[in-house]
């Protein structure tokens, strides 16, 4: 027999036979008498033991012995406290890529029946095509399939019975690999002018962003200015010269993936541009003089 803590418990026996009866109550082989804690009563054939505000010290085996002048009989009952739910194994933090499947599991003990519910950020989790919940053999399971960013958050497993309620919690972190969403565009610049390349990216932080040329990582200094925000990286060549012509590679990386793209900077010489202007003048100038002379 299981009872709630602090409840008043009544043990009853019905006796058949010829009165008068002599009644003895015993707990764990120790006799019980009427007191503030116990009350023994006899009403015709019904014999009762009242235990007030039942607690851990009252747990044990109770026996009732009834005798008359021609014989005796005995009955007994084991009385225990109802156990509130207790987690033998709590749910644990999980990380998953978008589109993946995660499973939270908790092992629970306690007096039955136990009701298990799940919450996310204090809102009740509702089953659908991608969310399934079970409680079998004292193991509570929450499975979430086709993970999306909306599933990211704090999850609670809540177990409840007549004796109490318990919760445990864990985080689900939905991760996205680092991905370039807007690639750098190749450009032409005049020697001595600045040259700028820009890339936009997304993904789960932290993300490492790097620029490379000829296999070497570019760093902030007198030659280059590099600005990086959560979603954009800008490389600026402060004063472009012929040596800065070539292919530049941008790379982003986090703990679940990486992405890269390339773009070229073509540096045009200023002297080559002046030569074109002079050459055109020399061709058309004689024609202009001849026309005036005629």
Per-residue pLDDT tens digits for 51-88:
999 999 999 999 999 999 999 999 999 999 999 999 99
What's the pLDDT at 292? 40
Taking the C-alpha atoms of residue 161 and residue 116, their distance in angstroms, rounded to an integer, is 9
Look at residue 285 in the predicted model and tell me its pLDDT.
40
Q: How far apart are CA 264 and CA 284, in angstroms?
A: 37
Mean pLDDT over 207-220 rounds to 95
242 or 285, higher pLDDT: 242
Query: What token pair was written down for 229?
Result: 């925000």
pLDDT above 50 for 281: no
More confident of the two residues 288 and 139: 139
Give the ranges where 168-225 is alpha helix by DSSP (H): none
pTM value is: 0.67
How large is the average pLDDT for residues 157-169? 95
Domains by residue range for the chain, with CATH: 2-81 (2.60.40.10), 86-175 (2.60.40.10), 179-270 (2.60.40.10)
pLDDT(289) > 70: no
pLDDT-derived band at 271, boundaries 50, 70, 90: low
């Amino acid at each position: 027999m299981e009872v709630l803590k602090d409840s008043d418990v009544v043990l009853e026996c019905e006796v058949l036979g010829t009165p008068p009866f002599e009644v003895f109550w015993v707990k764990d082989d120790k006799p019980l008498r009427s007191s503030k804690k116990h009350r023994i009563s006899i009403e015709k054939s019904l014999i009762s033991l009242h235990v007030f505000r039942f607690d851990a010290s009252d747990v044990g085996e109770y026996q009732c012995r009834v005798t008359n002048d021609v014989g005796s009989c005995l009955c007994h009952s084991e009385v225990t406290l109802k156990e509130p739910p207790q987690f033998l194994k709590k749910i644990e933090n999980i990380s998953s890529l978008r589109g993946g499947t995660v499973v939270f599991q908790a092992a629970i003990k306690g007096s039955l029946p136990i009701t298990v519910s799940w919450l996310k950020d204090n809102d009740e989790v509702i089953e659908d095509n991608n969310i399934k919940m079970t409680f079998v053999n004292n193991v509570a399971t929450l499975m979430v399939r086709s993970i999306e960013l909306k599933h990211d958050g704090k999850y609670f497993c809540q177990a409840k019975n007549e004796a109490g309620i318990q919760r445990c919690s864990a985080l689900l972190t939905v991760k996205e690999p680092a991905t370039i969403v807007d690639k750098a565009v190749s450009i032409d610049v005049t020697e001595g002018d600045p040259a700028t390349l820009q890339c936009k990216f997304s993904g789960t932080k932290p993300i490492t962003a790097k620029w490379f040329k000829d296999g070497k990582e570019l760093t902030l200094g007198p030659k280059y200015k590099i600005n990086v925000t959560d979603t954009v990286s800008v490389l600026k060549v402060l004063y472009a010269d012929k040596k800065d012509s070539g292919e530049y590679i941008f790379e982003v990386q986090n703990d679940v993936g990486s992405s890269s793209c390339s773009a070229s900077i073509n540096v045009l010489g200023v002297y080559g541009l002046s030569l074109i202007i002079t050459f055109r003048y020399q061709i058309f100038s004689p024609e202009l003089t001849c026309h005036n002379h005629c």
